[in-house]
Amino acid sequence: MDVDQADLGSTSTAGSASLSIRPYSDVPGPKGLPVLGNAHQIKPESFHLQLEGWAKEFGSLFRFRITDRNFLGVSDPAVIASVLKRRPEVFFKGPRLVQVAKDLGFHGLFTANEDAWRRQRQLVMAGLDPAHMKTFLPQIVDVAAKLRDRWIKAARESREIDVLADLMRYTVDVTTCLAFGCNLNTTEKGDQDAIQQHLNVIFPTLLRRALAPIDVEHWLPKPGVRLHVAALSEAVQGFIRDARHQLEQQSDLANRPQNLLQALIAACDSEGARLTDEELSGNVLGMLLAGEDTTANTIGWLIWLLHEHPKEWESAQAEADAIVGEGSIPQSLEQLSQLDFLEACANEAMRLKPVAPMNIVQAHQDVVVGDVAVPKGTFITCVMRPAGMDQGHFDEPHAFRPSRWLKGGHAEGGGMMSAKRVVMPFGAGPRVCPGRYLALAEIKMVMTMLFSNFEISTMSTPAGGPREHLKLTMSPAGLALKLTLRRATTTPAASAADGETVQSPVSCSGAAFLS
């Protein structure tokens, strides 16, 4: 096997005369059973914890097997980065993942490979460009104001809030505003909306089927899952019909689309058909899923960590009061950009509680990973948290210390940029998360709204804190709280902070169906 220096990750040494490459069969790992391999040891909802346990026991490179599929676990950050940077040429999304995504209706950018990925990436990145954030910020403010109104009502009724459910409503509403030009308004509908019920089955089903010894559900799908998928498919087609109608009514929108969906449809309908109908539908549902889970879970973990550390809560609240004002909501990207301590808190939360604790790809060719000769077809499982919990990279790694991310805070491992390369919350390389700028804006918006308007009176969690529940993303299971109003918060805002009127996005048939 030819060895490229780029393939060696952290094991390459400048000026080395010779490099020792070991075969995959020599890598240590947990003992498996005949035929099944290690399938009997894997529980989807806690798979990340099993991987982290194996990394601790066997080292930063370990192997395991699920029936006939061979896996190489990797927890060394330099090796992980070398893998992620060689997507999509050397490392692909695996065929099982692609098939499940097709079955569930969201085979798009998230699961595409090679040229299909490149075509879709260009369009999606253009729609999520940070330059567009300023245009759409009033819509994010409007959704945040509706969430504030919902929490004000709960506070006045002394009612416990299901934090994660409300945060997912918020992120879905923001996503549909920005990506589809319509607001599902699930934040105001509350328990009456059905979209969360449909969306919440997709990621757990994907993870369960991806890790199963045999994907029986491909041939015998669970009836309940089939109904949710059908409901989401009908809703997605409603979004697409509405956007196509808008394009037909205003022909110039094809050249200056106002949202991501219009841009995707224009590309799909253009001469040369840059997108197929399946790719169009897959990306619409993929945006809903990605926009809902990751950001909502990150905010949930951040709220819990700050509540557990009152001094950090007080510092973040004081920063919000100074920049935004007590009882208010951020009104500009300039205000959000000044929230340095809050961003440090978010970085620390993503280090301790990464909502994407693993990333699985498949080797498209024989390749060297670290110091291991990996055969074509092997699955590389990047285990993301151990490096962030390593004393060699972070002083007091188990402590919640946001100051380490501030300028002059001496984030260990050679400075803050080095620390970010160790943690990699949004991935690395060509397939880095396209929604990372939007995610940070949403996190800052909600947290500042919370600091400025509320105090937490009680927080209810299982003993030891929220349980880490993996549903492809890692959620804080069992997180609930009661809020009290700060003195400056007296009446709910009708639409936006400080009495400002914000133009709401149009309604859509997809929203009507999902209600």
Q: What is the pLDDT of residue 131?
A: 67
251 vs 168, residue with greater confidence: 168
Answer whether CATH 3.30.450.40 is correct for domain 5-514.
no
pLDDT tens figures, 8-23: 444 333 333 356 999 9
Residue type, 180: F
350, containing H or E segment: helix 340-352
* Backbone dihedral region for residue 157 (phi beyond 0: left; psi -120 to 50: alpha; all else: beta): alpha
Using the Cα atoms of residue 206, residue 207, residue 209 and residue 211 in order, give the sign of their dihedral: positive
Q: What is the pLDDT of residue 132?
A: 66
431, containing H or E segment: none
Q: What is the pLDDT of residue 492?
A: 46
Q: What is the pLDDT of residue 277?
A: 81
Strand 91-92 to strand 473-477: parallel, antiparallel, or no bridges (unpaired)? unpaired
Beta-carbon count within 10 A of 126 CB: 15
Q: Is the pLDDT of residue 2 over 50?
A: no
Q: What is the pLDDT of residue 4?
A: 44
**Model-wide pTM > 0.85:** yes
Q: Is the pLDDT of residue 511 over 60?
A: no
Q: Where are the domains of the chain?
A: 5-514
As a whole number of Å, the CA-based R_g of the chain is 23
Residue type, 32: G
- Single out the residue of 394, 407, 420, 202 nearest to residue 292, CA to CA: 202
Q: Please state, in angstroms and rounded to a whole number, the distance separating the CA atoms of residues 222 and 39.
A: 21
pLDDT tens figures, 116-163: 888 888 777 766 666 666 777 888 899 999 999 999 999 999 999 999
Q: Please state, in angstroms and rounded to a whole number, the distance separating the CA atoms of residues 496 and 164.
A: 22
Per-residue pLDDT averaged across 305-314, rounded? 97
Q: What is the pLDDT of residue 290?
A: 80
Q: Please state, in angstroms and rounded to a whole number, the distance separating the CA atoms of residues 26 and 55.
A: 16
Q: What is the pLDDT of residue 7?
A: 46
Residues 6+ apart with CB under 8 A from 500: 141, 331
Q: What is the pLDDT of residue 395?
A: 92
Strand 379-383 to strand 358-363: parallel, antiparallel, or no bridges (unpaired)? antiparallel
Which residue is associated with the tokens 């105001």?
188
Q: What share of the chain is helix, strand, coil (3-state, %, to 5)?
A: 55, 10, 35
Q: What is the pLDDT of residue 368?
A: 97
pLDDT tens figures, 49-86: 999 999 999 999 999 999 999 999 999 999 999 999 99
With H, G, I as helix, E, B as strand and everything else as coil, classify residue 477: strand
Average pLDDT, the chain: 86
With H, G, I as helix, E, B as strand and everything else as coil, classify residue 202: helix
With H, G, I as helix, E, B as strand and everything else as coil, classify residue 66: strand
Q: What is the pLDDT of residue 353?
A: 97
With H, G, I as helix, E, B as strand and everything else as coil, classify residue 369: strand
Residues 6+ apart with CB under 8 A from 150: 166, 187, 188, 190
Q: Please state, in angstroms and rounded to a whole number, the distance separating the CA atoms of residues 350 and 298.
A: 7
Residues 6+ apart with CB under 8 A from 344: 402, 403, 404, 405, 406, 409
> What are the tokens at 170?
């918020």
* Pair 162, 478: CB distance under 8 Å: no
Which backbone phi and psi does 268 adopt, to 5 degrees? -65, -40
* Pair 473, 328: CB distance under 8 Å: no
Per-residue pLDDT averaged across 186-195, rounded? 74
Which residue is associated with the tokens 């060719």?
365
Per-residue pLDDT averaged across 90-103, rounded? 94
Q: Is the pLDDT of residue 255 over 70?
A: yes
pLDDT tens figures, 431-490: 888 888 889 999 999 999 999 999 999 998 888 889 999 998 999 999 999 999 997 554
What is the residue-wise DSSP string for 94-139?
-HHHHHHHHHHT--STTT--HHHHHHHHHHHHHHT-GGGHHHHHHH
Which residue is associated with the tokens 């999304």?
93
pLDDT tens figures, 257-278: 888 888 888 877 765 657 788 8
Measured between its terminal Cα atoms, the distance across the chain in Å is 57
- In order of 197, 397, 500, 506, the CA distances from 263 in angstroms are 28, 44, 29, 17
Q: Is the pLDDT of residue 506 over 50?
A: no
Per-residue pLDDT averaged across 276-284, rounded? 85
Count of CA atoms in the C-beta half-sphere (13 A) of 150: 23
pLDDT tens figures, 403-444: 999 986 655 444 454 788 899 998 888 888 888 888 999 999
